[in-house]
Structure 1
Amino acid sequence: MTEYGPRPVDRILPTEEAHDLLTLVRDLAEREIAPSAAEEEEAGRFPRAVFTLLSESGLLSLPYAEEFGGGEQPYEVYLQVLEELAAVRLTVGLGVSVHTLACHALAGFGTKEQRAAHLPAMLGGGLLGAYCLSEPSSGSDAASLTTRAVRDGDDWILSGTKAWITHGGVADFYTVLARTGDNGARGITAFLVPGDAEGLSAAAPERKMGMKGSPTAQLHFDGVRVGDDRRLGEEGQGFTIALAALDSGRLGIAACAIGVAQAALDAALGYTLERRQFGRPIADFQGLRFLLADMATQIEAGRALYLAAARLRDAGRPFSKEAAMAKLFCTDTAMRVTTDAVQLLGGYGYTQDFPAERYMREAKVLQIVEGTNQIQRMVIARHLAGPESR
């Protein structure tokens, strides 16, 4: 039984170009990522060569403007690419989402000169980015961050610690949110920091239950000096920039979650068709068929939800509530589906000889990153109750 089988692209896509792109991604994933995914994850090896290949193939730049080397694809298409990559190896799919998130501040709020100077290399030059918002004592309460940036002439001096940074220690650039004033969320500013900046160091990667190939580490800023030309947006605009990026990033997490869930369903279905008990495939038993039907239905519902939110974004309409809904539903779905996949495989599901246990371990983190699902419920409720609600 394989973890990822070649399947024709049978979805309704907005253009023939998008169909060809998804076919290309599926073929690339099957050839270049799938064969070694389980082994690489177990060994905790970071797939830098894969990200280089994706950059060369134009897959790290899909939702950004052609003017700066982007693919200028709608989010509706980009998210389905993420889903395909995550179905093969979440470390890769989530890594592309994080890189896209790290480019968001510059693409959306940088000056024309800043975009021209940095975006081409970030989007298609083999560079890999990371996003630095969380800290050891400020996770869900992101506005309470304490990493500080102090002006020194034409420069800024950054000091503090960021935590839970995907690609921490291996990224070529970091989008960093730092405090430049004491007026709460209005005192936060965004900066673009080179990965090799003097005074910047990474702690040992966290020891995680899943996604072992994706380094997650604390970053220490010990008097890191960056020029004012690396400040993104206006001084004090950083929290607004961060929230705008997170709305899009949550859709990336939702798509990755559906990718993992789809991979788990494919593995479970393949196993139940092959495994025979009482003289017939166990897929013939009604109890298991109902479980598979529920898994498939939840996946399709999640996919429809994240695509609906993406179409709002592509149309230039507000989509914050819908992004939170998609992140909440899709990641909860991934947890349910992967748990059911382990159950369907029985004892084999609990072994590392089959991929179901890895999918289950990976699904858990998706309920936590880029805003826990409890935070998503708060965001949704605030939109429902109105801006004056608490």
Structure 2
Amino acid sequence: MSFMSSLRPGGRHGLSSRETRDPIGLAVAAVNRLAQSDLIDRVGLRKQTEHAVYSTTRNGFRAATAAGRTFARAGRRTSGARPAPAATRGVFDLTPTEDEQMLLDVVKELSAELLRPAAAEADDVCTAPAEVLAAAQELGLPGLGVPEALGGIMEERSAMAGTLVAEALAHGDMGLAVATLAPGAVATAIGLWGTEAQQQTYLPAFTGTDVPAAALTIAEPTVLFDPFTLSTTALRDGDGFVLDGVKSAVVRGAEAELFVVAAQLDGTPALFLVESGAEGLEVEADPSMGVRAAGLARLHLTGVRVGADALLGDSDGRAYRECVRLSRLAWCALAVGTGQAVLDYVKEYVNERQAFGEPISHRQSVAFMVADMAIELQAMRLLTWKAASRAARGQDFAREVGLARQLCTEKGMRIGLDGVQLLGGHGFVKEHPVERWYRDLRAVGVMEGVVMV
């Protein structure tokens, strides 16, 4: 069944009355928008498209950021809002709800029909195809973390739904998943910690039909980078701040119109909203080993002056700590999705590959390796889902996300390596996608920020 026909009719936005009353809501209304769109019918899924190619050298481009749109300071006339914690069912049950499963099924099909076929070329040119970004926008993914009162689709915190979506998208391709999820990370941050004025100014853009490219920038190009000891600084200057430093792993940096920049303020990390038209911003191509389809870049900030209203959240580090944890949780979900892609591909390969008159899966060394991959992947998934469940309910999840990140970093890379090993010489060539998935999985332990649930 195609994801165009997977939706049920009835009720508002094609939902039953029970579903419209369900407080979690999820992205079902947005899913219906996509179902009614002819975008997928227009897209030739395997058609070769032309891209604005990033140079493969570090200095491929370096230019001032695009001026971008002017975010209306008047914004909405509604009050600000925060997503409420999800209700607990009182039992340890990580089974997705009916609405979560409905959203998940649609995203899985989008991942298989659009992301997977476009992944190899997107990795080569370091650019996400426009049709992939448009499909994610029509699905409503940028607004997944925006409160319903502000035009979004969520009444409750979306950490669990975001985790499921990130995992499903990464099964298609991690780089394209990052490119599609990056604007939603900025919207989620503003929804969680933004003031009423910040929400009114910026969030309408993420719930409309022309969602801006936006990036959450925490990482810096330093050895043994520690997100809690930043080199980028924010100095108080009159009624505002002056930002200086260099940020790395900036998704779609050349086209981004809004940045959430992490900087050290009075000895404590803090988050700042910086529009691309600010004087002193410069972007530089920074192609990476993995996650190449996300179009990573560096952002240079030289005396960038922002107002007092640019501070996102508090100045004592609480919002920043939660931001780092939610970002790490998202990377765990991406690792699970990519790891599942490796396992699915390898199982089919070892069952079909013949050696000495029988499938190589008949050999214990191969079978045991595949079994270990499945065991470790399930452990990664359960830890990630548990952390997401606690985050959605507003409970402390620092321990759970720490355990999940440690396991996903170590075992995720191992799954990628074993996948390459099981394919032998085929694992080393680009004819098979496992080498790309292995490169992507190595990003999990070193990336900070970028995505968030």
Fold similarity call, TM over 0.5? yes
Q: Does 2:304 align with 1:224?
A: yes
Which of 360, 379, 387 aligns to 2:438? It is 360
CA RMSD of aligned residues (A): 2.5
CA drift of 1:150 comes to: 4.2
How far 1:95 moved relative to its partner? Answer: 3.4
SS in 2 for 1:272: helix
Does residue 149 of structure 2 align to residue 67 of structure 1? Answer: yes
Structure-2 residue corresponding to 1:322: 400
Structure 1 match to 2:203: 119
Indicate the residue corresponding to 1:193 in structure 2. Answer: 274
Alignment of 1:51-130 (within 5 A): 51-72=133-154, 74-124=158-208, 125-130=210-215
Task: Kindly state the Cα deviation for residue 104 of structure 1 after the two structures are TM-superposed.
Answer: 4.1
Aligned ranges for residues 132-171 of structure 1 at < 5 Å?
A: 132-137=217-222, 140-171=225-256
**Residue pair 2:243, 2:263 contacting (<8 A) in 1 also:** yes
TM-score where L is the length of structure 2: 0.72
> Alpha-carbon deviations, 1:134-178, whole Å to 9, x = none?
334486333443434445554433333223333333322111123
User: CA–CA distance in 2 between the matches of 1:33 and 1:40?
Assistant: 9
1:380: which partner in 2?
none
Question: Which is richer in helix?
Answer: 1
The sequence identity of aligned pairs, in percent, is 34
Does the 8 Å contact 2:215/2:259 carry over to 1?
yes
Deviation at 1:70, TM superposition (A): 2.9
Instruction: Report the CA distance between 1:335 and its aligned residue.
Output: 0.9
**Could you say if the C-alpha distance between residues 130 and 285 of structure 1 is closer, same or farther in structure 2, counting changes exceeding 3 Å?**
same
Equivalent of 1:250, from 322, 328, 336?
Answer: 328
Equivalence for 1:263: 341
Instruction: Give the 3-state SS of the residue equivalent to 1:213 in structure 2.
Output: helix
1:36-73 per-position Cα deviation (integer Å, ceiling 9, x unaligned): 21122123223354223212211122233222233326
Count of residues paired in the alignment: 355
Q: Please tell me the residue identity of whatever aligns with 2:318.
A: T
The alpha-carbon deviation at position 307 of structure 1 amounts to 0.6
Distance 2:254 2:351 in 1: 44
2: CA distance between counterparts of 1:16 and 1:115? 30
Please say if residues 138 and 144 of structure 1, whose CA atoms lie closer than 8 Å, have aligned partners that are also in contact: no
CA 1:115–1:19 in structure 2 vs 1: closer, same or farther (change >3 Å)? same
Distance 1:177 1:43, change over 3 A: closer
- Aligned residue for 2:301, secondary structure, equals strand
State whether residues 168 and 219 of structure 1, in contact with CA within 8 Å, keep that contact through their aligned partners in structure 2: yes
Which TM-score applies when normalising by structure 1? 0.83
Q: Deviations over 1:72-106 (max 9, x none)?
A: 26422321111111111111223345444433442
The structure with higher relative contact order (CA 8 Å, sep 6+) is: 2
Distance 1:12 1:179, change over 3 A: closer
Paired residue secondary structure (1:169): coil
- Contact 1:166–1:216 under 8 Å retained in 2: yes
C-alpha offsets along residues 217-263 of structure 1, whole Å, 9 cap, x if unaligned? 221123323333322234x33x3322110111111000100111111
Check whether the contact 1:55–1:123 (CA below 8 A) recurs between aligned residues: no
Q: Supply the AA of the counterpart residue of 1:174.
A: F
Q: CA 1:59 to 1:342, structure 2 compared with 1: closer, same or farther past 3 Å?
A: same
